């Protein structure tokens, strides 16, 4: 006689609904506790239900899904891409190591320091570019004497301003005339001397205009009569050779009479920056001789006589080394400016902004060189706005001046003015609607 298995009584619908509600509440509460909880953070618990009913032992494990976005989607707030960045750096290092190895196998070791020295030494060591740089002291001393004459009252402000502008005009024309007519000067020497004279011209313009602002900010006439001698002596003491040449060597283009200074010169930092400059220059020379020159020597024809396919091939081959040179030049500028600042105890070392985060090319150029942007804003943009020029037009004029100046600095030493750089910078201008 067989025994009948007793039938299991199913819970009523109200009890099943209550169980589903408890599981749903457990799911929502478990996900609401923290979105960053790990997959293995939830463990079976048998905590008592606040309603007095016993919680299911695996209620927390029954719900493993929720509404969420993929990490790489635009709606996700995920920002932890450090590992991806490290991975990209490893791939770049391996890729370019392969290119270096292939270049070395194909061409051999091409780095020759003697060839570099031949480009530096000019006309049997007569060094015309060095003589050109030394001659710049005449313009600097002239600016100082003009300021002293205006401070003492022997030269009127109007005539002093005109003589300053004449001195600055000659300063810009003199190196251009020497570079055009002096054939013994090398391309490197022409670049160096022209960039030096341009920076000197911007410094001396800031020097004369800032001193004029100091004179205009004097005390009113009644009080000035009482303290005229003491005030004149205080301002005259600032117009010294030491003050002028400290400004000329300081890594800034904007003059002021009291620069922020650090307490002392840190020798370790100084040697560190010097080692960085020497190392980066060696790497740049190696990239040019080992990587870029073979690309130009690969074809006997000039670039202008190549067909479209060969031109594209050469340009693609130059992409990687020119980008390396661009980044190395930035790092060389960083090391040089910090070296000068450390040597002179110059305190303001905000030489560049976060240009690597720039969303537009305009923002990139604004953050690439902070000293140049400060000079343009202080002595060009602000002065144009004071003369009732609309801010947008003033900004456009500053950008056009920068483009023309860059074309002047590059085209003149190469003896080739094609306006390519000027036109490329013009294409970067975006007028907001």
- CA 171 distance to own-chain centroid: 28
Backbone CA torsion sign across 83, 84, 90, 93: negative
- Is pTM beyond 0.75 here? no
Domain extents for the chain? 21-30+42-65, 114-249, 265-345, 351-433
Number of CB atoms found within 10 A of residue 366's CB: 18
How much is the pLDDT for 341? 95
Closest CA to 333 of 263, 284, 401: 284
Distance CA 337, CA 331 (A): 10
Distance CA(403)–CA(409), nearest Å, equals 10
> Could you tell me which residues come within 8 angstroms of residue 412 by beta carbon, excluding any fewer than 6 positions away?
176, 179, 180, 190, 194
Q: How far apart are CA 252 and CA 348, in angstroms?
A: 9
* Interior angle at CA 329, CA 243 and CA 320, nearest 5: 170
**What are the residues facing 213 on neighbouring strands?**
none
Query: In this predicted structure, which of 316-320, 331-335, 404-408 has the lowest mean pLDDT?
Result: 316-320
Residue from 360, 299, 356 nearest 323 by CA: 356
Contact 244, 146 (CB under 8 A): no
| Partner residues linked to 48 by β-bridges | 54
Of the chain, the percentage scoring pLDDT greater than 90 comes to 34
CB 403 within 8 A of CB 421: yes
| Model confidence pLDDT, tens digit, residues 72-105 | 787 888 888 888 878 888 887 787 777 777 777 7
From CA 8, how far away is CA 202, in angstroms rounded? 96
Identify which of 56-60, 120-124, 189-193 has the greatest average pLDDT.
189-193
pLDDT digits (tens, 9 = 90+) for 101-132: 777 777 777 777 666 666 656 555 567 888 88
Judge whether residue 70 has pLDDT over 50: yes
* Surface-to-core class of residue 211, CB atoms within 10 Å of its CB (0-12 exposed, 13-18 middle, 19+ buried): buried
Torsion angle, CA of 306/310/316/322, rounded to 10 degrees?
-40
Share of residues in the chain with pLDDT > 70 (%):
73
User: Measured between alpha carbons, how far is 245 from 239 in angstroms, rounded to an integer?
Assistant: 11
Under 8 Å between Cβ of 284 and 328? yes
Tell me, letter by letter, the H, E, C secondary structure of the chain: CCCCCCCCCCCCHHHHHHHHHHHHHHHHHHHHCCCCCCCCCCCCCCCECCCCCECCCCHHHCCCCCCCCCCCCCCCCCCCCHHHHHHHHHHHHHHHHHHHHHHHHHHCCCCCHHHHHHHHCCCCCCCHHHHHHHCCHHHHHHHHHHHHHHHHCCCCHHHHHHHHHHHHHHHHHHHHHHHHHCCCCCHHHHHHHHHHHHHHHHHHHHHHHHHHHHHHCCCCHHHHHHCHHHHHHHHHHHCCHHHHHHHHHCCCCCCCCCCCECCCCCHHHHHHHHHHHHHHHHHHHHHHHHHHHHHHHCCCCCHHHCCHHHHHHHHHHHHHHHHHHHHHHHHHHHHHHHHHHHHHCECCCCCCCCHHHCCCHHHHHHHHCHHHHHHHHHHHHHHHHHCCCCHHHHHHHHHHHHHHHHHHHHHHHHCCCCCHHHHHHHHCCCCCC
Q: What is the pLDDT of residue 290?
A: 80
CA distances from 205 to 9, 169, 201 (A): 99, 11, 6
| pLDDT tens digits, one per residue of 213-271 | 998 886 454 444 455 555 555 566 788 999 999 999 999 999 998 899 999 999 999 99
Q: Which of 148, 131, 139, 120 is nearest to 198 (CA)?
A: 139
Per the document, the length of the chain is 433
| pLDDT of the residue at 34 | 46
Residue 406, pLDDT above cutoff 60? yes
């Amino acid at each position: 006689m067989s025994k009948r298995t007793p039938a299991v009584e199913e819970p009523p619908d109200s009890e099943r609904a209550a169980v589903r509600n408890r599981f749903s509440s457990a799911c929502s509460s478990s996900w609401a506790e923290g979105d960053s909880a790990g997959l293995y953070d939830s463990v079976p618990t048998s905590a008592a239900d606040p309603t007095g009913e016993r919680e299911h032992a695996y209620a927390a494990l029954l719900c493993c899904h929720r509404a969420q976005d993929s990490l790489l989607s635009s709606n996700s707030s995920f920002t932890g891409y450090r590992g991806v960045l490290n991975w990209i750096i490893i791939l770049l290092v391996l890729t370019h190591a392969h290119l270096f190895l292939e270049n070395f196998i194909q061409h051999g070791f091409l780095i020759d320091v003697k060839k570099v020295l031949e480009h530096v030494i000019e006309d049997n060591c007569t060094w015309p570019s060095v003589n050109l740089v030394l001659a710049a002291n005449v313009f600097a001393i002239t600016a100082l004497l003009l300021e002293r004459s205006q401070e003492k009252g022997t030269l009127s402000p109007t005539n002093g301003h005109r003589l300053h502008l004449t001195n600055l005009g000659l300063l810009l024309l003199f190196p251009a005339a020497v570079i055009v007519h002096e054939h013994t000067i090398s391309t490197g020497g022409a670049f160096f001397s022209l960039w030096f004279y341009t920076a000197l011209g911007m410094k001396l313009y800031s020097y004369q205009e800032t001193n004029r602002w100091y004179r205009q900010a004097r005390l009113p006439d009644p009080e000035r009569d009482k303290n005229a001698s003491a005030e004149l002596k205080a301002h005259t003491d600032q117009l010294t050779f030491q003050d002028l040449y400290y400004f000329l060597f300081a890594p800034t283009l904007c003059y002021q009479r009291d620069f922020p200074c650090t307490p002392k010169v840190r020798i370790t930092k100084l040697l560190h920056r010097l080692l960085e400059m020497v190392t980066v220059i060696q790497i740049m020379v190696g990239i040019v001789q080992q990587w870029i020159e073979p690309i130009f020597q690969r074809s006997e024809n000039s670039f202008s006589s190549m067909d479209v396919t060969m031109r594209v091939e050469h340009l693609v081959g130059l992409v990687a080394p020119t980008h390396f040179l661009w980044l190395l030049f930035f790092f060389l500028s960083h090391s040089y400016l910090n070296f000068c600042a450390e040597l002179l105890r110059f305190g303001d070392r905000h030489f560049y902004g976060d240009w690597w985060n720039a969303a537009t090319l305009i923002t990139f150029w604004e953050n690439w060189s902070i000293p140049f942007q400060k000079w343009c804003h202080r002595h060009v943009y602000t002065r144009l706005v004071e003369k009732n020029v609309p801010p947008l037009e003033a900004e456009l004029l500053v950008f056009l001046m920068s483009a023309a100046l860059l074309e002047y600095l590059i085209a003149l030493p190469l003896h080739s003015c094609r306006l390519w750089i000027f036109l490329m910078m013009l294409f970067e201008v975006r007028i907001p609607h």
